[in-house]
Structures are given as structure tokens and as C-alpha cells.
Structure 1
């Protein structure tokens, strides 16, 4: 990898800014210039192509405009997910999350928690099909899967998006399926497989390494026939990353707007929140999750994948009210 490459992170401003950020609710007037082996430096301009990528409004997602933060409610049709596996009826959960204020749902049938084992596609499909059928017509639905066979069954059952935690690294047939179906896809960064990803993850520079990896995933998806405007990216907090890696990404997550795609963030109830916040049980990590969500919203992150939708919907209403007051000059 080149040590000469320059990366530009927009520094979001709470009020206005010289440029709009990703057509959203915040702006920026300065940038951090990042380079491997060098300390960050603040600049007030960057190449035209960089500004174009940072400022262009993001395409809507399954009918949802991304000019405000969106909540993706998690539906785990699994017995072993780290936070809530087997704790509720996935069918009932779909309606509950809609009523709580979710904008879209993410339905998955295979746990990808650290140490999780792969299951057969047929078993994964059997787990998610009832929830997919229940969610049809309620909200836009994403299927959380790494497998083409599962994605195909989910799309036939009403899903309108694929959320692949492997970023197309797991199943070589999935990119072609997504391209042919003409649906959006979320490409996440992960280092390794769930079984081993947390054994000893290492990076030269996690922030920039993840940027490069996501850039390569986008290029691969485009080469497979998926238009860039249908691609969402996720830096993969907790997937092959230590606590220090997670924090480094979250501090400067606005860097990833430079890839020109909407950003999806999944931090909900994760272990490092519990360790830092003093919450051993996943269900007790809502305040810490909210803190990171609000911080990410301040950096322009568009989609937030969460378990606790009602609490996040309340927080977003307050953030929106503050922004409206600011815009009115009060």
C-alpha cells in the first residue's frame, strides 16, 4: 500500500459550513488531511474530486431519503445472537419495531457474533422466511446474509436489499445475484470469519486500511454490474477489530463519506460499549449505544442499525428539534 496517498476527512460543523456533507443535515469548512506515517493536519481545501464525493447527495434507499438519519431495526431470527438471540418472536418483533419508529428492518437468520459457526442455507432460509412474510408491506426490509441462496429466497419473499457482513468476500455468487435483482446492497468490512475474527486482529492503520478495503469492495461490486448509487458501506465495528480499532474508526468515521456512498453503522449493544460503560449485560448498553449513535449523527452517518428502536427514535426527535431551532435562528 502506498504511503504517499492523501485521505481527506471532512470536519463536520454544528452550524452551517462552506460545503454540505453528503446532502445531509450538516456541513464542513475544513478537512483533516491524513497520510500513513504522518500526523493529521487541517486544511481548508482539497481536490475537486474529493469535494464532489463528499458533497453529493446520496441516493434514496428503498424509497427512504437519506437527508436525515434513519433507524434500521434489528430482527434476529436466531437462537444464538450475542444480544437477543431467542429472546423474542421474530414475526412479532417486526411489527413492534415498526411501531417503535424504525424506518427499515434488517432480518437475519445466522449469527455472526464472534465465535459463531456457519449454518446451512436451508436452515437460514427457514428461520427468516416467517419474519420476511410478516414484514411485507410494513417497512422496507433488508436481509442480513452472506449467501446467495439465502439472499435469493429473501428477495423472493419481499426483501428489497441485501446486507452482507462479508462485503462479498464469502460467496462469489452473491454479487451477480444482487446485480441481476437490481437491489441495493450494504458492503461491510470484516477481517476474517466470525469463528476467528476476534482472535488477534491487526492493522497498519485501521482507519485507512478499512477505507482502502471498502474502496476495493465498491470497485468489485461495480465491476459485477451493481451501480455505485445502490451501494451502502459499513466499516464493521467489532468485526475483526479490537476496542482501540473500534474507537479509532468512530472518532473519524466521517472519513468514509469520501467513498461516495451512504454509511451504515452497527454498534448496538456491542461488547466494547459494555466494557467502557460498565454494562456487563447487552440489554444494559442502550445509553452507551445512544451516545455513539448521536456522535455518529454529528459526523453525518445516515443509517443506524439498532436493537432499541424506541429509545433511538426519541433521541433522533430531539436532535431534529435542535437542528430546526438552529435553522430558524432561535
Structure 2
């Protein structure tokens, strides 16, 4: 799985900042450098003596996640389907619990203004400092209500057969059907027919009731040779074979006709067919995205602009990191 996101955050490249009147919520903790003796004689003794310090800042930010996309690492994901909003009970990662007729969901996240923390460790000498700064932000997914907060973050990654069925992409579906083997078609038929009202769905997908010369039938029964104009998917494909439907389409199978039949099904029946493709032929990835965390590391060189007589010190920093 991979995710692509565009962010308005200074996480890469060179960051130049001028911060005036900065007072961290957590005070800087400074300790004399190792080797400094009680009499002031040591490695860093004298006017130029420096010290190490650590700091923890609470830094509200206005960062955001833009154009978030998710897909399998192999690039086989065609689309994303959300979990049914009205699904009752605990989250159950089964294909029939996903909304195959819903439009492509937009996965968006809340801004992280209240959850941005930064920690640093560095060395200062005089008004100059060198430090390593580590920041963390957390972006929580939007859209969940109290009643469905567990399901708002669950999605199914659909592949070509399931996606083209659900979205009505007839030409693409016909091409994808042609790449399916007879053995896979047999498994698909069993998966369709094993659902409630699945036998009727299977018959409609195979062009039930059409004449023997029609071009929208699944094909010819491999055992009897009779035209499958009243049968089901599982009657058209009875033999486990690695032969693709496209290579057998010359005189027995019309994948374009099958795609048209599937596209003419009701929304509910399309969901049955798409779910059967995902369960029995292609497989599908189910993901849960509750939040995204972002960690940044910066190397900063800083200089205190004023150091005498005031408790709040303005300073300038130049940093590089990501």
C-alpha cells in the first residue's frame, strides 16, 4: 500500500525563520558542559564557555493533508469504496459490508493545530547555538460521527473487475472479463450464486431467456454443448481451466455481451457481482486509516539577537532537514 499526500508544511528543503519574542511553554533546561570545574577551570572555562541544552516546545501549527490517495504497492487498485454508513454492529471486513454504489470517497483529515510538538537538543556558546530539532504532528481523519466513528475510517481497495462492475465501465469490464480464466469464472459463478437471490443474478448476468443466436450470453455449456440461454454462470463454466475467456470467445463466449448484461443489473445486484469478483477472483485489500502522523528532523543554526536585560530572547535560525 502506498499513500500520496501533498502538504503545506516546511518539512523539506531549507527553512529560514525569524522568530521574535519566543517563549517556549516548557523552559529550556541548560547544564554546564562536562569538564567545567568548581573553580571555573576546564575544557570550556572562561568567557567563551558553552553549555548543552534540551528543550520541549508546544507549537500549534496550521499544517494539513491535501489530495490523499491510497493504493496497493503493485498499482492494481482501481478505486476506493467506503464501509456502509448504516452497517450495524462491530466492523466486519467482508465485501458485502462495503458500499459498492457510493461515489469515490474523498479521504480528508483535520488540521493539527493542537497536536504539534517539537523537541530539541543542542549546544550554545555565547549567543550562538547549534541544535537538532524533532517535530511531530498528528492528523485525524474527518467524517466520522459518534455513531459510526469506527466505520468512517475503513475502506476497500477495488481492482478492475469489481471496480468496472460497480462504476458501469462496460468496455473496460469486457476487456477485464476476457482476461479471466474459465476456472476463475467458475469460482465467480459459485460466489454469485451463493448469495441471497444469487441464482437469479447469475441468470441475468448470463442473458437468461434470450434466443440462441443472441450475442449477450455467457457461452456454451462445456459438457452438453447447448447454448446457455436459460442457465447460470456456473452452468456455462463447469471445467477448471487456465484458458482465458478472450481466447475462447471466438465461438462460445461473448464477453461484451456479458459486460452489457452486468451493467443492466440493479444497483443491489451489481453489488453482488462486484463483491463476488473481489471475493473469488481478484481479492481486495481492506484498510483502516484513523490518522496520519508526520515526523520532521531539522538541523538548526541559531543566534540570539538580544541577550541582555530581558527575559524573552528574540533569535534567528537557519535550518535544513525534512
Do these two structures clear the TM 0.5 threshold for a shared fold by scoring above it? Answer: no
Q: Which has the higher strand share?
A: 2
Tell me which structure has the larger Cα radius of gyration: 2
- TM-score, normalised by the number of residues in structure 2: 0.20
- TM-score, normalised by the number of residues in structure 1: 0.20
Q: Which has the higher helix share?
A: 1
